[in-house]
Structures are given as structure tokens and as C-alpha cells.
Amino acid sequence: MDVNYQALKDLVQGANFEVGEELLYSGVSFLLFPCEYQERERIEGVSPVFSQPSSIADWDIYFSTNVVDRKFRKPVLLHEILEAEQFAVLQEDGLNRIEAGKRAHETARVYDDKLAQELFDNQGYKEYCTFRKGLLKGSK
């Protein structure tokens, strides 16, 4: 899969995390929706960060600012953008939803990890890894 890491990194570095902020990566448009994660969402198994097809852009990204610490927002956003973009490409290539989702997540994980290693010192990186594991356990 082709990933323009520098363009993706530049995009998330410039993100302001404002409601309705439009982000564009690899010809795919995203609208960002920072929000508050509610207890009922946790009980229902809704992830505090997720993307879904948009009626305005290609994808909407919902990002719970009360779950994702400010210092972790950029690698998490990078992950969501890349995962959605790769998912669409893999489906166009004929993969079913489950396999496309799995592969897109694996690719996104490599690059969010790369950004985290660049942004954080050793302790910060360990904290990020712990946070990501918890985020994955809490998602559906």
C-alpha cells in the first residue's frame, strides 16, 4: 500500500481539532468532530475514536477529547485518517469489509506508532503504547 507518511504527518501536525475541521489526505476528505465520550457509549462498546462514511465529506472522524489526552491526539488522528483511507482502497481492490478493516488497521498502527516514536521520549512513548492498548480493548 502506498502511504505518503510525510504528507500525513504534516496534515495531523497542522490539525486544530475544531468541530467540522476539514482534512484532506490522498484525495480523501475528512471532517473532524471532537466530542465528549458518554458513559452510555462506553457501556454500548462504542469506541471513543472512530470514523464513518460522511454525507458531506468522504469520512467523518469522531474524536472524544475527554478520553484522548491532548498529547496523544496527533498519532491517534493519524491512525484514523490512514485507516479510513486504506480501508476504502482495499475495498475497491476487492477485499471484503472484515479483511479490508483488518489490513487497514494494521497499516495505520505501523504509522501511528512511527509518529509516536518521533513525538515522545521513551516514557511518553510507553504511555502512548499503554493508552493505545486500552483504547483497542475499549472499542467494539
Single out the residue of 99, 100, 105, 116 nearest to residue 80, CA to CA.
Answer: 105
Helices marked H in the chain: 5-13, 39-44, 73-92, 97-119, 122-138
- Parallel, antiparallel or unpaired: strands 28-35 and 49-53: unpaired
What integer pLDDT is reported at residue 137 of this predicted model? 60
Domain extent listing, the chain? 5-138
pLDDT tens-digit profile of 34-83? 999 999 998 998 999 999 999 999 999 999 999 999 999 999 999 999 99
Q: Which residues contact 128 (CB under 8 A, 6 or more apart)?
A: 72, 75, 116, 120
Report residue 46: phi and psi, to 5°: -75, 130
Position 139 confidence tier, pLDDT thresholds 50, 70, 90? very low
